[in-house]
Every structure is written in C-alpha cells, then in structure tokens.
C-alpha cells in the first residue's frame, strides 16, 4: 500500500492528532461526493471528539493520512455534523452495496474502498475491493475477491438496494455499546432500524440501554413480539422496566408474558415503584450469598465476565432465600475487603457494619446523597420487613440526575465556538437540573 493510498475500513476508529501530537478524536466515517465523469471526491471525515460528538473535518485541514493515524492542522469545527444533499458516507452507505461489473461480468459486493491523494489536499476514490457471489453450496464458502476501478462498476441504484446491514455491523464489531449506540443514532432513521434489527439479542440489549428512551421505543416497535421479549430478557431489569413503561399497556402485557418468568417477575416488581425512588432506580440482580459463603466463593462470583463493574463492587449477605426479595438482609461485603482476607474466611465476619440500607421508598435525592457522602458505588435497598429487594448503583443515579437528552450531548450547543484550538483549554461546565427518566411524564 503506497503512502498516498489507504483503505477506508482501516481508518475506522483511527486516532486524529494535532501537530503537537495531542489526540483530538477518532475517525468514524469518510465523506465523499459523486461526480459525473470521475470517481467520487473525498470532502472530509466524520470525527468523534470527546463527548461522543460527531463533527466534520474537512480534507483541506488534514496534513497526513495513514492507516494508523491522521494529522490535522490543529483546528476542528465543533458544530455537530449534518449530512448534506449529495454527500455519501463510505462506511455507513457504500460498504456492502451491490454493484454490477461492466462488460457483462456479473455482480459483486463492495467490501472496502481505497482513497488516494491526487494533489495537495485532494483525495478521491481510487479502487474498490469487491467480492463476487460464491460458487459453492457450502455455508462456509465465500466468493472470490478482486479489485476494480470506479469506472469498471455500476451501482445498483435502480432497485433502491441499500448497503448490507451485515457488512456495516462488521465495521462496528469492536465498538463499545455506548459508541455503537451513538453510531446508530447518527444513521438515517430507516437505516438505524435496519441495522438494529440485524444485531444479536444481547448486543441489541446493550445498545438499547445506551439510547434515549424514545429511540428505544422506536426500535422495539419494529421488532416482532417474540424477538422484542428476547431482547428485554437480555437487558438489566431496571432498564427493561424503564422501556416497558413507555409502551402501551396492551403491548407491555404481551411482552411480559413472553419474557422468561424470573425476568418478567423482576420487571413487574420494578414497575410498582415511582421512578424517583430507590425502588424505581434499583436493579434486582445483585450478588447475594449466605453468611457461611467464603471469600473464595465470593470472588468467583465477582469474576463472571457478564457482571457489570458496579454490581461487582460488593456482595450482599442475607438469610435464605437468596433471590430478591430475599430473607432478612444482613449486610454488604466490599470487594476490596475480601482481597485482604484468606480464601476460607467466611463473608459473614466481613460485613460492613457502618453501611445502612435505604428503604425502597427513599427518594432519589436521598440515595444520591448517601452515595456521595460515603464514597459508595452501590447501596442496598430493603422493604418494610428488611428483606433485600435490590441495589442502586452509581450509574443508575447518574442516569437519573442527568438531563433527559444527555446522550445526544446537545447541552452545550448554544456555546459552541466555530473552531477549537486543540491546545489545553480551561473547561467550563454548567449544572443541569435533574430530570425525570420518563420525559412524557408516564410513571411505572
């Protein structure tokens, strides 16, 4: 690969640096415009800067492009990216699209696009990496690949065929759920729904938890009931309850009936609490053990890869039964304290005697005050009979306290200077008033 030619798929997630070597963001897509007689011209990059804001970086402000990094002049326009008519996103719209080879050589699918420098500050699409249809009936077989120039193909635009969602998902495979959610929200609405429908149940569940509730409802409405119930089963109970609370009563009951009984029971319990209480904020699946369990057993439970970090910060000790609502709550044992004792030590002897649980009807403000006052990651929640019904984690409280549209990061749009000097600058923040988790006013 020559220094003046790079493949777009290799640029995804590539770091963008200023001339001093400071990182200013990551590449999320390449923007091109079609031309009548020449291959598409590169006009710039869609770059994700801190705060997951997507901005436009003009090709004229780039001094160096390679598969490992991009160097800019140091100035980036901070206005949120908005796609204009005639502009095409290579990763989101071109990769996976079917094309027809000229001279009757059949069809192929675009798997990657090479861009090449043609002059100072001038880049264009130079070559396409194509895959032909497979010739074997084996499910493991793949079609042959080859390179073609832009004038050797014709895009199949007459039948309105869109980019393969599978190809786009392959590009997003290594993204964290929050980043993938942001990428999907940046797509056109119909495209977002199509790609979301191709995600696996657990991956879609993780992504939905990172989206605004109106988008969650929009995606769930497009899923058939059985699939929607399977996705809800993969979500944290409190997040699933928040989402179900946004649906019509009729569909909520249908989905709850289709969910796994244990999960549905947890969600139904959570729906009984107001969203601004400990019961409305809590999750119902903390780690729960008996007082006779050992440090070794507790650490083994914490090591589970599917466990959220906040849930692994402490273990709840109760009397039987050991599923919420449990027997009488005895206390919590913090992860760090377990590390200081031998594997055979009983957890009942390590309980934090100073940590008091909160009542299920305690206000969200009280829960936040307790977490902040005692530097806690989580706090247990009990009912009138002192049974453990769940725990509230710090991320649940933050999600409640932040404004409803925090995921869109528009709160500073009114104070966005046209350019950003990437040298260190003082940060000014403004406090936002707490908002309800359900912007339409609906309660559980």
Last residue of a domain, one of 174, 197, 229: 174
Distances in Å between the Cα of 63 and the Cα atoms of 59, 102, 113, 120, 427 are 9, 36, 21, 9, 28
Can you give the pLDDT at residue 275? 86
13 & 120 share domain:
yes
Strand partners, 130: 110, 146
pLDDT tens digit string along 391-415? 999 988 988 887 766 655 544 444 3
Judge whether 164 lies within some domain.
yes
317 & 380 share domain:
yes
247 & 382 share domain:
no
Judge whether 428 lies within some domain.
no
pLDDT tens digit string along 7-56? 998 898 899 998 888 899 999 999 998 887 889 999 999 999 988 888 98
CA pair distance 429, 208, nearest whole angstrom: 27
Torsion 32-168-55-122 (CA) sign: negative
CA pair distance 54, 76, nearest whole angstrom: 11
152 & 182 share domain:
no
Judge whether 392 lies within some domain.
yes
User: 17: which 2 tokens?
Assistant: 């640096």
Report the range of poorest mean pLDDT among 202-216, 252-266, 293-307, 427-441: 427-441
- Average pLDDT rounded to a whole number, residues 230-239: 91
pLDDT tens digit string along 130-147? 998 887 777 667 888 989
Asked if 150 and 45 count as a contact pair (C-beta separation under 8 A), the reply is no
Helix ranges (H only) for 133-200 are 165-171, 177-185, 189-198
pLDDT tens digit string along 261-319? 888 999 999 999 998 899 999 999 899 999 999 999 999 999 887 788 889 999 999 99
Residue 42, φ and ψ in degrees, nearest 5: -80, 125
Please give the tally of structural domains in the chain: 3
Judge whether 92 lies within some domain.
yes
Residue 300's domain is classified under what CATH number?
3.10.580.10
CA pair distance 15, 310, nearest whole angstrom: 29
Judge whether 407 lies within some domain.
no
pLDDT tens digit string along 136-192? 777 667 888 989 999 899 877 554 455 566 666 766 767 888 888 988 888 888 888
4 & 83 share domain:
yes
298 & 168 share domain:
no
Q: What is 340-370 written as a DSSP string? A: TS-TT-BGGGS--TTPPPEETT-BHHHHHHH
3-state DSSP call for residue 133? coil
- Max distance between CA atoms of the chain, in angstroms, equals 80
Distances in Å between the Cα of 58 and the Cα atoms of 62, 76, 85, 341 are 7, 9, 16, 57
The DSSP symbol for 63 reads: E
Distance separating the N- and C-terminal Cα atoms of the chain: 58
35 & 149 share domain:
yes
Last residue of a domain, one of 271, 305, 321: 271
For the chain, state the CA radius of gyration.
Answer: 26
pLDDT tens digit string along 322-355? 999 999 999 999 999 999 999 999 999 999 988 9
User: 199: which 2 tokens?
Assistant: 């995600």
3-state DSSP call for residue 307? coil
Residue 349 half-sphere exposure toward CB, CA atoms < 13 A: 10
Residue 156's domain is classified under what CATH number?
2.30.30.240
242 & 260 share domain:
yes
The DSSP symbol for 90 reads: I
127 & 162 share domain:
yes
CA pair distance 347, 332, nearest whole angstrom: 9
User: 273: which 2 tokens?
Assistant: 């609490």
37 & 146 share domain:
yes
* Residue showing tokens 């849930």: 311
Question: Helix 213-221 crosses helix 189-198 at what angle (to 10 degrees)?
Answer: 70
Last residue of a domain, one of 129, 156, 174: 174
300 & 345 share domain:
yes
Judge whether 328 lies within some domain.
yes
Residue 200's domain is classified under what CATH number?
1.25.60.10
CA pair distance 410, 416, nearest whole angstrom: 10
58-63: which pairs have CB atoms within 8 A and are 24 or more residues apart?
59/121, 59/122, 59/123, 60/121, 62/121, 63/19
Burial class, 69, CB count within 10 angstroms (exposed 0-12 / middle 13-18 / buried 19+) = middle
192 & 103 share domain:
no
Residue 353: domain span? 288-399
Can you give the pLDDT at residue 114? 94
Judge whether 104 lies within some domain.
yes
Judge whether 130 lies within some domain.
yes
């Amino acid at each position: 690969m020559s220094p003046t030619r790079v493949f777009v798929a290799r640029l995804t997630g590539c770091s963008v640096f200023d001339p001093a070597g400071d990182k200013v963001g990551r590449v999320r897509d390449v923007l091109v415009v079609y031309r009548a007689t020449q291959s598409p011209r590169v006009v710039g990059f869609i770059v994700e800067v801190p705060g997951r804001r997507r901005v436009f970086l003009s090709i004229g402000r780039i001094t160096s492009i390679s598969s490992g990094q991009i160097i800019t002049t140091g100035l980036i326009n901070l206005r949120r990216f908005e796609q204009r008519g005639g502009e095409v996103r290579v990763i989101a719209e071109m990769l996976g699209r079917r094309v027809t080879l000229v001279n009757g050589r059949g069809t192929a699918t675009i798997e990657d696009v090479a861009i090449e420098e043609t002059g100072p500050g001038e880049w264009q699409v130079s070559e396409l990496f194509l895959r032909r249809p497979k010739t074997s009936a084996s499910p493991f077989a793949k079609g042959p690949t080859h390179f073609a120039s832009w004038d050797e193909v014709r895009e199949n635009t007459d039948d309105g065929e869109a980019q393969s969602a599978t190809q786009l998902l392959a590009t997003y495979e290594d993204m964290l759920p929050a980043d993938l959610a942001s990428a999907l929200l940046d797509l056109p609405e119909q495209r977002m729904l199509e790609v979301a429908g191709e995600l696996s149940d657990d991956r879609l569940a993780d992504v939905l938890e990172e989206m605004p509730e109106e988008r969650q409802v929009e995606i769930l409405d497009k899923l058939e009931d059985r699939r929607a119930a399977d996705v809800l089963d993969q979500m944290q109970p409190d997040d699933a309850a928040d989402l179900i609370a946004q649906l019509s009563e009729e569909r909520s009951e249908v989905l709850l009936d289709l969910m796994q009984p244990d999960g549905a029971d947890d969600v139904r319990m959570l729906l009984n609490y107001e969203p601004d209480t400990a019961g409305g904020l809590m999750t119902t699946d903390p780690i729960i053990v008996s007082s006779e369990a050992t440090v070794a057993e507790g650490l083994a439970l914490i090591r589970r890869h599917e466990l959220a970090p906040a849930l692994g910060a402490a273990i709840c000790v109760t009397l039987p039964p050991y599923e919420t609502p449990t027997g009488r709550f005895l206390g919590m044992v913090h992860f760090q304290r377990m590390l200081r004792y031998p594997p055979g030590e009983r957890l009942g002897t390590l309980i934090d005697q100073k940590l008091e649980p909160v009542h299920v009807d305690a206000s969200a403000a009280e829960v936040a005050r307790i977490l902040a006052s005692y530097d806690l990651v989580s706090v247990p929640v009990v009912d009138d009979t002192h049974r453990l019904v769940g725990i509230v984690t710090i991320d649940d409280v933050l999600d409640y306290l932040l404004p409803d549209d925090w995921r869109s990061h528009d709160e500073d749009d009114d104070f966005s200077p046209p350019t950003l000097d990437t040298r260190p600058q003082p940060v000014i923040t403004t406090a936002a008033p707490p908002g309800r988790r359900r912007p339409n006013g609906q309660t559980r």
